[in-house]
Structure 1
Amino acid sequence: MLFAGVPTAALVVFALIGVALALFVSEVIPNDVTAIGIVVALAALEPWTGVGARGAISGFANTATVTIVAMYMLSAGVQRTGLVQRLGVHLARFTRGSETRALAATIGTTGPIAGIINNTPVVAVFIPMITDLAREAGVSPSKLLLPLSYAAILGGTLTLIGTSTNLLASEFAATLLDRGPIGMFEFTALGTVVLVVGLAYLMTVGRWLTPARIPVDADLVEEFELEDFLAELEVPTESSLVDRPIERLADRTDAAVTPLQVRRNGETFLAAETDQRFRAGDVVVVNGPRAAVNRLRRRFDLDRVDRGAVTEETFADADSPDRLGKAVVPETSKFLGETLSESRLEAFHGMTVLAIRRGSDLIRTDLEEVPLVAGDLLLVQTTPESGEYFADGDDLLVIPEDALDRLDEDEPEEIAPLSPETPVAVAIMVAVVGLAALDVLPIVIAALGGVFAMVVTGCLSSADAYDAVSWNVVFLLAGVIPLGLAMEATGGAALIAEGLVATGSVLPLVAVLLLFYVVTGLLANVITPVATVVLMIPIAVDAAARLDASGFTFLLAVTFASATSFMTPVGYQTNLMVYGPGGYEFADFLRVGGPLQLLLSVVTTLGIVALWGI
């Protein structure tokens, strides 16, 4: 029989892992909720899993989890100094008008930065600037945004604090191997090789493979294919709308039609906010399917203005209180899983969503009932006030369409002013890295001390510190860590390792190491890097012992493979952030990221063997 000789306890854990993997892949429920379910199941099935209540929640007390929470906060403190934004301004000035300079400077800057601070806010700051850089260079934003994400991922291999998987691997190194935690710069030499090779690929082969999904200089109306959904309707003298309140029109229209603005003798009013009443000659801009707009026109005896008259410029007049813009839904957004009607974006923030781009798919009808997911790109009618509100938080990443306009008028210090606390915040971050690198303090204590110092010195408020943490990532991390304990306790890791070790009879040892790298990389693209590193490191260490090889060598292969997942938009959170703005298809990540991952699997495996032996 297939499972003959496999202990019942191991079968239970394998079944639990199988269910978890299915939920991770399908995302029927959020991954962090799945992780919480893992905690409950492990404790409830203690007689078979060997993990009791204390062990099941041990992930929350794991030093890697606590360190990651602290690093999110430290990264927020550095980001709020304005240094990254200032760098983006200088980058924009240097690269304007040249696709090659734009690509080289973007990836050459993002990679090193991502080795020190969390790469998510770095990518968030760069997306608006890169989008406009592409327009200035006459190139599709799609050609720059995917390399931006990949460079941020590559940068995570430079230091211990580069990614959460590195920190997890350090914890495993201390508990599973006869050695201490991994040093701050212990694998920086290899990370530098990986970064350089990856950037060279992105400048050459990757540049050729990356598609131009978003048309160059595309009007936003054209980009979201709304030509047949936006219309201008004129209010004639005989219309029943005359003398009725403008703001009440939304209550009287077909649910499929949204009034956006009213234009009158050079003045523009937001349809949802003005206290004006309709007058004969007013022009109403509406959004909705053609059939629904025609029903509205007939109901109120309205006249249609020239077809195709509504463009991005309709919303860009100097006197207009609104603009068209784009907004990305990040993984940190409180709106995840909510429909637009539940999010109350228009009611609370004066922001109307006209369309949603989900990868290459466009959603333009029944928007109010569409649940938002990470990576969605929203076409929004927004005001300066709503743009400023979301600029200070992590719920929506608003991409203004004129991010570079001020470069010709203002100095960098006016566009991206530095905080008075900048020197203090930088000094704190340097101290944290230095204390950990010199083994004066464990990284977890140094990081927590840095958070304490940033809050006490005013670099970061306690509220901003808590808001900076991606708690869904933390719960995912804390929830899957006990799976590693269960794999070890039931002998499941040893069973899988035994099967993989069998390949050693027909393959040289370096090929077995490469096999572990490839398998880990494939898993990380599907079930997230965090879950992969937790499942694969115990197996890799056990396999190394059976092969009489270096456990640290195999641990590093799993660590680097899980930290460099390029082949799917869900493989890494920065991939999701550029998925919508770049208009990418799922296959684009496989086309560009697949060769890169294969290249790095060989380079990294050989690099590990050269530096640490096997």
Structure 2
Amino acid sequence: MANHTLVFIVLGLTLAAFVWGRFRYDLVALSALLVSVMLGLVPADQAFMGFGHPAVITVAAVLVLSRGFERSGVVDMIAEQVLKVGDRLFLQLVALTTTVVVLSAFMNNVGALALLLPVAMRLAREHDTSPSLLLMPLAFGSLLGGLMTLIGTPPNIIIASYRGSVSGDTFGMFSFFPVGAVVALAGLAFIVLLGWRLVPDRAGKASTEEMFDTANYLTEMKVTEDSKAAGWTLRELQRELEETIPVLAVLRGDQRRAGHAFLGVLKEGDILLVEAGPEEMKLLEDKAGLSLGVSADEQRDPQATAASKADEDKPQASRKAEKKAQRKERKEERKATDTEGLELLEAVVRNDSMMVNRTVTQLRLQNQYGLHLVAVARDGGRLKQRLRDIRFRPGDVLLLQGGESNLTESLATLGCLPLARRNLPLGQPRMLLISLGIFALALVAMLADLLPAAVALSAAALAALLVGVLSLRDGYQAIDGPVIVLLGAMIPVGQALETSGGAKLIADSLLLAGEQWPVLVLLIGLFAVSMLLSNVINNAAAALLMAPIAASLAEGFGVSIDPFLMIIAVSASCAFLTPIGHQSNTLVMGPGGYRFGDYWKMGLPLSLMVMVVALPMILLVWPL
């Protein structure tokens, strides 16, 4: 069997696995690389050379620098200004989307979105705006901003490196700016003037207060004299129940202690504030001997018992009316106070999270990370199934309880993005200036051709670590392992497509089929195919696969390679049609309450507008 046929089979199976989504994309890419080596498509001694490729090093350095911007307070300083825009939806959209567009040009676009997502949630809550109207524009804005510079998005870095490998000269830091800036401005105008109107308003479902209306799920269970649970710790209680039932607080007399911080044993008279439905309540009664805390209010207010006895002499109708009023009053009081001081936090599961496809039991959230899982929301609604049976997905919104001391570190390790309100600014003024200064020196070195992009940005990342802009541990955590593995594994596979003659075969077939067509028609087709591909697989993988085909097409027409490569760079970064095409889209799915089919409603017209604006600009700046 010819080598190019084997390459097509490997790539076809790889694309199918990417679309299926059963296995994470880095594992799929690594499998494709190893199979290619075994089939002789990639020389064994070159199998892992992709991990040292300039594109991979540049992406890693940009991720570290992006985390440095976060830690130094650069982004928080900007976000603090965004929060002052007021309650007009138009101004909120302009401020958020413009900010994320600018930030995404100079840092990882997922990082820029992750930093502004809590700001958008806070704006939505403070001004009673539906989060769904803000978050999709924010996600799409992060993709548009990445088009403007070399470091804005991985496809730009990949295309620049590929150009260097075929022509000896790479694209520079701002080579993408003339086209990218015009497309970003046009996209920004579309989003804030028209696009947001195409986004479904899910005010009732998407609001996290509605998803996690905790007070309506809280139940008081009392430890009585006959309770088996008397003398147990909360950990022993969970082990005996063989179920994950969150105990948010333990009430003992006038003291109230959060469940994650209660390390003692339960005593008679203790009241457990638990997140429980009818099945869980029965489990607590049967296995732990706890009783429904109907007398909890009496325990906190001993006069209630005496008052109820005094009321026995009143007419029955009057007693019923008064009891009904008292129950209503207690219910309203409970809704207002039960969650007070319980340190509940919302977080969204990232695409690269270690939680994906795993359960709370497998992760050992309580024992290993000190976190209580209280509830899970998906597609804008709270999941009703048992917590221990839920397998987490990217975009899930989690309601967690934990101590402030280890909360940030635990969420970072798990791969979750906190949605809680943040105190701005977080950074130190001195580090802010140092961080900007280091990045400015790297830009100067790149613009003056003193250093290649990979070397300049790596030196900047190293300097940021050495001077303490961020710790070494933070630097390693900033590097997105799955993306690095994807790039390192797919670069040799993409080269195999070219060296086997597969890319030339595809290009020749396209040239033969469209020999009567003008070049512009094939450019439109190339743009559309690359854009559609980026909506079902990772954008970096789309750029790696399409770049050799674009180069072969340019060679077949006997024209410049630059406009063809620029088309791949722009189209591979515009995944607006699905929530799985880019991490930014997935991150807002849960908090925004979106469904899979919501994205194309704004994404399709935005994609068409990008194509209409980008193609003439590319041909103007990079003529054939």
TM-score (normalised: structure 2): 0.88
Post-superposition offset of 1:523: 0.3
What corresponds to 1:183 in structure 2?
Answer: 172
- C-alpha contact 2:206 2:592 (8 A) present in aligned 1: no
What corresponds to 2:367 in structure 1?
Answer: 347
Post-superposition offset of 1:485: 1.3
What corresponds to 2:560 in structure 1?
Answer: 550
What corresponds to 2:85 in structure 1?
Answer: 95
Distance 1:231 1:422 in 2: 44
Distance 1:254 1:193 in 2: 58
What corresponds to 1:527 in structure 2?
Answer: 537
Deviates more, 1:480-489 or 1:189-198: 480-489
Of residues 180, 193, 196, the one that matches 1:207 is 196
Post-superposition offset of 1:293: 1.6
Question: Residues 137-169 of structure 1: CA distance to partner in whole angstroms, max 9, x if unpaired?
Answer: 221111111111111111101111111110110
Count of residues paired in the alignment: 588
Q: Name the SS for the 1:613 alignment partner.
A: coil
Distance 2:615 2:194 in 1: 21
Of residues 473, 487, 505, the one that matches 1:495 is 505
Q: Considering only aligned residues, what root-mean-square deviation do their CA atoms show, in Å?
A: 2.6
What corresponds to 2:17 in structure 1?
Answer: 23
- C-alpha contact 1:524 1:565 (8 A) present in aligned 2: yes
Q: Unpaired segments of 5 or more residues in structure 2? A: 295-326
Distance 1:35 1:217 in 2: 34
Distance 1:225 1:172 in 2: 51
Distance 1:315 1:188 in 2: 53
Deviates more, 1:428-437 or 1:270-279: 270-279
Post-superposition offset of 1:215: 2.5
Question: Residues 508-561 of structure 1: CA distance to partner in whole angstroms, max 9, x if unpaired?
Answer: 321211110010000011111111111111111111222233321111101110
Note the 1:293-442 alignment, pairs <5 A: 293-297=281-285, 300=289, 302-303=291-292, 305=294, 313-317=336-340, 320=341, 322-360=342-380, 362-390=382-410, 395-400=415-420, 402-403=421-422, 415-442=425-452
Post-superposition offset of 1:426: 1.0
Question: Residues 220-252 of structure 1: CA distance to partner in whole angstroms, max 9, x if unpaired?
Answer: 3x3147777x24234275652585345243334
Question: Residues 35-69 of structure 1: CA distance to partner in whole angstroms, max 9, x if unpaired?
Answer: 111221111111xx2x2113332211211111111
Deviates more, 1:373-382 or 1:105-114: 373-382
Distance 1:394 1:121 in 2: 16
Distance 1:101 1:173 in 2: 41
What corresponds to 2:211 in structure 1?
Answer: 223
1:23 corresponds to which letter in structure 2? A
Q: Name the SS for the 1:18 alignment partner.
A: helix
Post-superposition offset of 1:125: 1.7
1:475 corresponds to which letter in structure 2? V
2:397 corresponds to which letter in structure 1? L
Distance 1:96 1:217 in 2: 21
The answer to whether residue 183 in structure 2 is matched with residue 194 in structure 1 is: yes
C-alpha spacing 1:168/1:596, structure 2 compared with 1 (3 Å): same
C-alpha spacing 1:315/1:151, structure 2 compared with 1 (3 Å): farther
Post-superposition offset of 1:115: 0.6
C-alpha spacing 1:218/1:8, structure 2 compared with 1 (3 Å): closer
What corresponds to 1:3 in structure 2?
Answer: none
What corresponds to 1:73 in structure 2?
Answer: 64
Distance 1:234 1:63 in 2: 60
Distance 2:567 2:495 in 1: 20
C-alpha spacing 1:217/1:499, structure 2 compared with 1 (3 Å): closer
Q: Name the SS for the 2:592 alignment partner.
A: coil
Of residues 106, 112, 126, the one that matches 1:116 is 106
C-alpha spacing 1:419/1:370, structure 2 compared with 1 (3 Å): farther
Note the 1:256-275 alignment, pairs <5 A: 257-275=245-263
Q: Unpaired segments of 5 or more residues in structure 1? A: 1-6, 407-411
1:345 corresponds to which letter in structure 2? L
Question: Residues 226-281 of structure 1: CA distance to partner in whole angstroms, max 9, x if unpaired?
Answer: 777x2423427565258534524333436264433223444322345424555565
Distance 1:153 1:552 in 2: 22
Deviates more, 1:604-613 or 1:162-171: 604-613
Deviates more, 1:131-140 or 1:265-274: 265-274
Of residues 472, 486, 493, the one that matches 1:483 is 493
Distance 1:174 1:561 in 2: 20
Note the 1:233-272 alignment, pairs <5 A: 233-235=220-222, 239-240=226-227, 243-245=230-232, 247=234, 248-253=236-241, 255=243, 257-272=245-260
Q: Name the SS for the 1:160 alignment partner.
A: coil
Question: Residues 359-381 of structure 1: CA distance to partner in whole angstroms, max 9, x if unpaired?
Answer: 34643423234343332211223
Deviates more, 1:266-275 or 1:323-332: 266-275
What corresponds to 2:320 in structure 1?
Answer: none
- C-alpha contact 1:256 1:288 (8 A) present in aligned 2: no
- C-alpha contact 1:89 1:416 (8 A) present in aligned 2: no
2:119 corresponds to which letter in structure 1? M
Distance 1:216 1:33 in 2: 35
Distance 2:382 2:511 in 1: 47
Distance 1:311 1:442 in 2: 62
Post-superposition offset of 1:339: 2.4
- C-alpha contact 1:140 1:216 (8 A) present in aligned 2: no
Distance 1:349 1:554 in 2: 49
1:536 corresponds to which letter in structure 2? M
The answer to whether residue 219 in structure 2 is matched with residue 232 in structure 1 is: yes
2:572 corresponds to which letter in structure 1? S
2:95 corresponds to which letter in structure 1? A
C-alpha spacing 1:246/1:372, structure 2 compared with 1 (3 Å): same
Larger Rg over CA atoms: 2
Deviates more, 1:364-373 or 1:178-187: 364-373
- C-alpha contact 1:65 1:477 (8 A) present in aligned 2: yes
Post-superposition offset of 1:427: 0.9
Question: Residues 160-183 of structure 1: CA distance to partner in whole angstroms, max 9, x if unpaired?
Answer: 11111101101111122x350001
TM-score (normalised: structure 1): 0.89
What corresponds to 1:63 in structure 2?
Answer: 54
- C-alpha contact 2:215 2:338 (8 A) present in aligned 1: no
The answer to whether residue 40 in structure 2 is matched with residue 40 in structure 1 is: no
The answer to whether residue 441 in structure 2 is matched with residue 452 in structure 1 is: no
1:117 corresponds to which letter in structure 2? M
- C-alpha contact 1:327 1:399 (8 A) present in aligned 2: yes
Q: Name the SS for the 1:161 alignment partner.
A: coil
Distance 1:97 1:595 in 2: 27
Question: Residues 385-430 of structure 1: CA distance to partner in whole angstroms, max 9, x if unpaired?
Answer: 3434447767322222x44xx6xxxxx5xx4342532222211101
Distance 1:558 1:185 in 2: 17
